[in-house]
Structure 1
Amino acid sequence: MKNILTCLLAVFTLANFSAQQKKVIEITGLDPSVKPADNFFMHVNKKWYDATPIPSTQAGVGAYMFMNYPQRLRLKAILDSVSQKQQSVGSLEQQVGDFYASGMDTLTIEKRGFDPIKPLLADIDAIKDIPSLMKYVAGALKMNNASIMAFGVGPDDRNSKMNIAHAYQTGISLPDRDYYFKTDASTLEIQKAYKNYISTLFKLTGSDAGTAVKNAQTVYNIDKEIAGSHRTRVELRDVHANYNRFSVADLQQKQPNIGWKTFLTNIGAQTDSIDVGQPKYYEKLNLLLKSVPLQNWKLYLKANALSNYAGDLSKAFVDAEFNYAKVISGQSVQKKRGEVMASAVDGYLGDALGQLYVKKYFPESAKKRMQELVSNVQKAYAVRIDRLDWMSDSTKIKAKEKLAAITKKVGYPDKWKDYSQVKVARNTYFENVLSASAASWERELSQLGKPVDKSAWFTTVSTVTAYNNPSANEIVFPAGILQPPYFDNDADDALNYGGIGMVIGHELTHTFDDQGAQYDKDGNVKNWWKKEDYAKFKTKIQQVIDLYSTFTVLDEVHVNGAMTVGENTADIAGVAVAYEAFKMTPEGQDDTKIGGLTPDQRFYMSVAKIWRVKMKDEYLRLWINSNPHSPPFWRVNGPLMNSSPFYKAFDVKEGDKMFVPLKNRILIW
């Protein structure tokens, strides 16, 4: 009886909500030459894909993360406006405006050359032994420059209400550990570009060409030694293996070269234990600190500092950084300074700039509509849990308790960060960066040993993204993503449920993916499953891994099914639950066509449009190697191959390229 009442309540609520009239938005650009049952991504997107050039300053174009390019132009317009007017001292406008102006003052930056970083280089030159090396490392970390020590403060996986100290593997500069060991042509080219980059940095700071090349190779060799100790991206998905809480006394005894007690004192952290995510890295580091000559470590730290701040120095350093980055991304021309600085201000003073962004671009009505959509998809999720044929009633109760306990954050935070400690001047860009970095570090460190602040956000509000935070059991949708093609406050339900509804379903599913399913409703890593149910769940997860491992891009490169399994699970279920919610609306229950398309067809076309992306081959290769999401093409075709209503909407039959027999279609949530 309880399950039936839940279903009826969900249908009633959504049906009443959706009665409002919406404007008609046509779906254009469909390519009839591509059969939807063979390649739905290209049926919807091919005309756009073929006709749309990638801007020379970008690695890709379209929706998803590449929408952040026009977002940065929006931010730039705000910053141009506030930086050119006299602002009240201490106001948001003054802080972000002066920070932006200091970065736009390239004449002053050029005159200073690498003078701003000379004190850091002098500190490295003064290192005389391992303890003084570690003291420098601690000081750099307080400026948010992690070299060989990565330390952070965050929830305890076993007690999510409290913040504890965490240490992670770090120390490499290529995109991933595997880049040091692969021998294919594209990877070798990236290795060469990285060595050239480090060599150039040494030459720009006074080394002759021969010495610079030799020093760059020394740095690379240390990098490669470190990379061998790193866990792979697949191994990093193991929640239990990446929780290793040690007492500081134990770490001090086992790794005396690191000198944990002194290190913690030097960074200002008071704790008697640390969760060391990847212990083998710190075991290796302890050995390397003794086996690698001190002079080589000093070269390594100089390369790290120069690389970390290259973009904040004169043009020669910026050019060197770009010449390396373009080999990885395929981007052919540097971004304009205004775009770069808009991104920098967003990164360093994001909540201050975000308040100005929200005021201009995110009305309260959009937030209210989005909150209703999130609640509706959440209700539909509960309906789907009730219908699962592979899960027992006792586990269903636990799953629905966890679903109901999810915190939903929409648009912007209730409490904005305070940047009053950041010192900003219009003529000292480098020092502004250091001040903002130091304030960020102090803000994080101040939370050590304290209850978790559940109001905190881990993205800026203008960013086109969304995320699930399992330790807080929360889903977050910043204002940046709440715009077309994902969300349109005036669009009909088919478009919004196929767009942002799919994203909502995706983020909800991370609560129940291979990692999220191991957290309970309070955000603790704790088993809430019946043993037999979890075994069935793992079997279904393996089906996702196996399917996506068969998908290829660039004709030969396979999707890493094990690395992307969490996102792929969320995509498959995200489409399914969004469709469930859509069918509870009047439009979803109707057959009236709009522009010759049924409501179901419009829903699925909206799913395809939100991943309308085109990127450089170099960037796509980087994506496959390091991104936990599948490429956009498979974020459309992969889930839809497993969505039975899609087959009916587009008459998909055996023999069509997207056809999968009913018994083989993956249904998890």
Structure 2
Amino acid sequence: MSLSSKRGLRAIRNALLVAASAPLALSASANAETAATDGSVRFGSWGVDLASRDSKANPGDDFERFASGAWMDATEIPADKPSNSVGSEVNDRNQDRLQKIVTSSSKDSQLGALYSSWMDEARLEQLDAAPLKADLDEISAIKTKAQFTSKMVDSFSDFGSTLFALGVLPDPANPTINIAFAGTSGLGLPDRDYYLLDKYKPQRDAYRAYIQRTLELTQTPNASAAADTILAFETEIAKLSWTQADLRNLDKLNNPMTPAELAAYAPGIDWNRYLAELKISTPKIVVGDNTAVKALAALYDATPLETLKLWQRFKVTNQASDYLSKRFVDNKFQFTKTLTGASTLRPRWRRGIDQIDGRLGEVLGQTYVQQYFSPQSKAMMEQLVTNLKAAAAIRIKGNSWMEDATKQAALAKLDRMDVMVGYPDKFRDYSKLEMKADDLYGNVKRSSAFEWDYTLSDLNQPVDRKKWAMSPATVNAYNGGLENKIVFPAGILQPPYFDPQADAAVNYGAIGAVIGHEIMHGFDDQGRKIDASGAIRDWWTPADGERFKKLTDELGKQYASYEAAPGVFINPDLTMGENIGDMSGLEVAYEAYKISLGGKPSPVIDGLTGDQRFFLAFAQAWRGEQRPDAIKTQVASDPHSPRRYRVIGPLRNLDAWYAAFNVQPGTKFYIPPEKRVRIW
């Protein structure tokens, strides 16, 4: 069972490991792009796609259109995607590269065997539901709650679901040692609100229909009534679940207990058995959404065994569906498209490359970086990061509202922040993971078990800050939270985010803003609760904490006014950390760009000043379009604001943007200087 399906624990990890959610898109006007020798795409001659602009748009009314309006008018979202953006098209191009690596690998290799098993559709059709039989028979044979508890344990390394998710993360009190974290799980829709609010009724109805169809595919008796039972059970879970905003609040998530204290706090499940079968032996467990864990244990105790078995039967089939015959795959897509708006399933080979990058990412990544990430790019990126950290220090030192004691603690944290570029210093060893060309179902099970063993190998061990949580080919970046590090995989380090041949203003406006975003996550509304060592503690003076809260409240009011889709407004309590990262990261990137000029004036290129090129590059790095259903899902469950407001939201608080484009009072997004939010 993937960690992403474990809601409570996923939220804890998200609070401590903050991804940029990079704007996964790079299609532009053909005459504005040129192909580079490495197969990437270069915008124009210096890094900005001039042809994609809408010269009729007023920058102060809609800078997104000003920077990319012509592209937006000419570009349609592919039928198999919820959105089209710079990052998604960079990701597609990466997949083309990865496919070449995989298909040139021996069929007997791990890469070749997994891909062959995925692409052998004829065998999957022949097998149909047969691989499921043993798993479903095992559920049918369960006679007691104790046996069901064991089945939930199995889901950590197999198909199925659990109500109580566990994982391994650094100890918030002593971040040099890894300990266990626990949280809730069990929901099949993106968030609790999907079960409880009327505006999500279409998706809820689609989910209920999917449950019934899935049960019918497995010949479950009385599938309609069973679907009602399962949805009712998950609705009860939703009622006791925390909101997404609460699930990112470190003050609420940091609840250490001994195993004995957990057993006394949340009776209703045999915690001793649960932990023992998970091979978790630890003196302390941080219980994230603790009140939900307590309530869920009581719900588990009160729920009839037959209801739990029906629920698990559906969960196993749901998770296994991607690895079965076409009727299972199509059945699942019929539901998931209601969450994304996509009308066509992505090509099978692309889904297969996703599987390989997810399960063998550092095997695949070794060849990827050899072929597509040059030493020159790595060296230039490291210099960019040096300048970004220097710029962040300048911003912290010059902060007018912060006392010196807090500034010094912030600077100490910044100084100790590790930066990792491209790929890990040491790649993982996958030699014990067996892959067979004729056994997709088994390959996935063996991979899941391998990953759980890998997770457990860190328990009670010193934290290895050199380990990566993303594969080298990933088009994204992240801040490591309790490890006080930022990580930039090679996958994102290509045009238009980063190009060794591009104008400096472009690199600082694009990848520089991403770097700045990740750096400043260390000082957002949750990152500020983590000190230089990675421990969760309050290192701020009380007065500084109050002033910071007033500033974030003002920023929150701005974001709460943004209607991302009809009737759907951004939740600032959920998105505050990312909004601070976006705004402060852009300010830091702008400061770093000025540092890179060494006191010299920036040249004018194609009639554009350096500042104009910087802000255009920033906006074009976020250009894209999303389907309304995808926006609705994002606003409900994702701590990142929709991409349009990741452009507009930061810019309208930056004085330099107003000056660069002569933005005047009376335009839609104009904010008077005295009301602009200035946090870092």
Calculate the TM-score normalised by the size of structure 2: 0.91
| TM alignment of 1:173-322, pairs within 5 A | 173-184=188-199, 187-207=200-220, 211-322=222-333
Where structure 1 has 5 or more consecutive residues not aligned to the other structure, the ranges are 1-21, 88-93
Distance 2:477 2:265 in 1: 40
Once the two structures are superposed, residues 411-454 of structure 1 have per-residue CA deviations (whole angstroms, 9 ceiling, x without a partner) of 00111111112111100011011111100000101111111111
- C-alpha distance after superposition, 1:607-638 (max 9, x if no partner): 10010111212111111211111111111111
Q: Work out which of the residue numbers 80, 91, 94 in structure 1 matches 2:103.
A: 80
Q: Is the 8 A contact 2:168 2:458 kept in 1?
A: yes
Find the residue that maps to 2:178 and give its secondary structure. Answer: strand
For 2:367 and 2:188, the matched residues in 1 are separated by 35
Kindly indicate whether residue 62 of structure 2 is the aligned counterpart of residue 51 of structure 1. Answer: no
AA in 2 matched with 1:476:
V
SS state at 2:198 partner: coil
Q: Distance in 2 between matches of 1:234 and 1:255?
A: 23
The answer on 1:488 being equivalent to 2:503 is no
**Other-structure match for 1:5:** none
Match of 2:529 among 498, 518, 531: 518
| Secondary structure class of the residue paired with 2:588 | helix
Measured in 2, the distance between the counterparts of 1:344 and 1:86 equals 16
* 2:15 alignment partner in structure 1: none
Q: Is the 8 A contact 1:258 1:286 kept in 2?
A: yes
After TM superposition, give the deviation of residue 23 of structure 1 in Å.
6.2
8 Å contact kept, 1:330–1:619: yes
Which residue is equivalent to 2:419?
408
Output the CA distance in 2 between the equivalents of 1:274 and 1:413.
29
**Paired position in structure 2 for 1:157:** 172
Which residue does the alignment assign to 2:46? Answer: 24
Conservation of the 8 A alpha-carbon contact between 1:513 and 1:569:
yes
CA distance in 1, matches of 2:551, 2:163: 39
- After TM superposition, give the deviation of residue 336 of structure 1 in Å: 1.0
**Structure 2 CA distance, aligned partners of 1:75 and 1:594?**
36
Q: Shift in Å at residue 219 of structure 1? A: 0.6
Aligned to 2:439: 428
What is the letter of the counterpart of residue 173 of structure 1? G
Amino acid at match of 2:394: V
Secondary structure, in 3 states, of the residue corresponding to 2:177?
A: strand
Matched AA of 2:123: T
Matches within 5 A, 1:488-507: 488-507=499-518
Conserved 8 A contact 1:624-1:630:
yes
Q: Hey, what's the Cα distance between the residues in 2 that align with 1:369 and 1:26? A: 19
Alpha-carbon offset, residue 265 of structure 1: 1.4
Map of 1:166 onto structure 2 = 181
Tell me, what secondary structure is at the counterpart of 2:663?
A: coil
**Partner in structure 2 of residue 116 of structure 1:** 131
Tell me, yes or no, if the aligned pair for 2:117 and 2:440 is still in contact at 8 Å. Answer: yes
Give the distance between the partners of 1:621 and 1:261, measured in 2 at CA: 40
2:149 is matched with 134
Instruction: Summarize the Cα distance change of 1:254–1:640 in structure 2 as closer, same or farther, 3 Å threshold.
Output: closer
8 Å CA contact 1:511, 1:517 repeated in 2: yes
Q: Partners in 2 of 1:409 and 1:146 — Cα distance?
A: 34
Q: How does 1:388-403 map to 2 (within 5 A)?
A: 388-403=399-414
Secondary structure in 2 aligned to 1:34? coil
Is the contact made by 1:61 and 1:67 (CA closer than 8 Å) also made in structure 2? no
1:568 is aligned to 2:579: yes
Using a 3 Å threshold, how does the CA distance of structure 1 residues 517 and 80 change in structure 2: closer, same or farther? same
Deviation digits for residues 31-65 of structure 1 (CA, Å, limit 9, x no counterpart)? 11111121111111111011011111111112135
Structure 1 residue 258 displacement after superposition:
1.1
SS of residue matched to 1:228 = helix
| Separation (CA, whole Å) in 1 of partners of 2:346 and 2:131 | 23
Using the alignment, how far apart are the partners of 2:170 and 2:88 within structure 1? 27
CA-CA distance at 1:86 after TM superposition: 6.0
Name the amino acid aligned to 2:522. Answer: T
3-state DSSP class of the match of 2:596?
coil
**CA pair 258-86 structure 1, distance change in 2 beyond 3 A:** closer
Change (3 A) 1:461 1:588: farther
Q: Secondary structure at the match of 2:573?
A: coil
- Counterpart of 1:62 in structure 2 is 85
The alignment-based identity, stated in percent, is 37
Structure 2 residue 622 is the aligned partner of structure 1 residue 611: yes
Distance 1:255 1:581 in 2: 50
C-alpha distance in 2 between matches for 1:25 and 1:553: 29
Match of 1:580 in 2: 591
TM-score, scaled relative to structure 1 = 0.93
- Inter-partner Cα distance in structure 1 for 2:600 and 2:629: 44
Aligned residue identity for 1:633: R
Look up the equivalent residue of 2:515 and give its one-letter code. Answer: I
Residue in 1 aligned with 2:13? none
Contact 1:467 1:477 in 2 (8 A): yes
- The amino acid across from 1:396 in the alignment is K
Cα distance change of structure 1 residues 61 and 481 upon mapping to structure 2, 3 Å threshold: same
Q: Give the gaps of 5 or more residues in structure 2.
A: 1-43
Query: What is the CA distance between 1:252 and its match in structure 2?
Result: 2.4
Provide the alpha-carbon RMSD of the alignment.
1.6
